[in-house]
Amino acid sequence: MKEVKINPSQLQDFDILFCVGDGLLSKAITTIANSEFSHAGHFRLINGKPYVVDAQREGLTAKPWDEWVERFNYKFIVMRETGMTEEKRKQYEEIEFDLLGTRYDFESLVIRHPRKRFIDLLNRICKKKRDNWKEKSEEKEQKRLYCTEHVALVRGFENAQPTPKDLLFETIEKGYSRVVF
């Protein structure tokens, strides 16, 4: 992926950032998820200032754009919802505000998703249908989440526990456009 310096004035509220980093965790996620990306978050304009809202180790937080760019040094692409209305933006804002402060879901990251991928692989090899994937309980779902889950929940996507690849495909299916810089 080509590195491009993005000025936040080129972004719009609730653009989705699909990211990949150079670290070990990022490489593990892209390998396990069979995805070009390891992370996702929302670009936000909060009181006219650029932020990124994403789920990281410290939970779901809003970070100032410049600090986020410097700290994580991600390469990323931007997907934009076409036809975003003010009503929809306010709906997303309300949902996201309620989720702020939610703890990060390490269990899904390191245990549940790799296990699901392994079971999917076995199903393809053995041509059997094993479905040992257990969805998170509602109680757990409200207490912890991971990055792509945050974006999917805010937007009301059908797959509420996607990998970065799943989330990207869902945005494409829903007609989101890739922002080119």
Nearest one of 41, 168, 176, 26 to 99, comparing CA atoms = 41
Q: For residue 55, give the DSSP letter.
A: E
Backbone φ, ψ for residue 13 (5° rounding):
-50, 130
Between 19 and 108, where is the model more confident? 19
Q: At 146, which CATH number?
A: 3.90.1720.10
- When divided into structural domains, the chain yields a total of 1
Tokens found for residue 156: 């009301």
Give domain status of residue 20, yes or no: yes
What is the distance between the alpha carbons of residues 145 and 153, in angstroms, rounded to a whole number?
Answer: 10
Q: Please state, in angstroms and as integers, the Cα–Cα distance from residue 167 to each residue in 5, 6, 40, 48, 161, following that order.
A: 24, 22, 9, 27, 9
Q: Which domain holds residue 37?
A: 8-179
Question: pLDDT tens digits for 101-119?
Answer: 998 876 665 555 555 656 6
pLDDT of 136 reads 46
Give domain status of residue 139, yes or no: yes
The per-residue pLDDT of the chain, averaged, comes to 85
Answer whether residue 122 shows pLDDT above 70: no
For 54, half-sphere exposure in the C-beta direction (CA atoms, 13 angstrom radius) is 24
Query: H/E element holding 45?
Result: strand 39-46
Give domain status of residue 14, yes or no: yes
Question: pLDDT tens digits for 129-166?
Answer: 555 444 544 444 457 888 999 999 999 998 878 889 99
pLDDT of 42 reads 98
Give residue 28's identity as a one-letter amino acid code.
A
Reported pTM: 0.81
Residue 53 pairs in a beta bridge with 42, 62
Contact 2, 109 (CB under 8 A): no
Give domain status of residue 2, yes or no: no
What is the distance between the alpha carbons of residues 153 and 85, in angstroms, rounded to a whole number?
Answer: 18
Give domain status of residue 1, yes or no: no
Give domain status of residue 113, yes or no: yes
Answer whether residue 91 shows pLDDT above 50: yes
Give domain status of residue 27, yes or no: yes
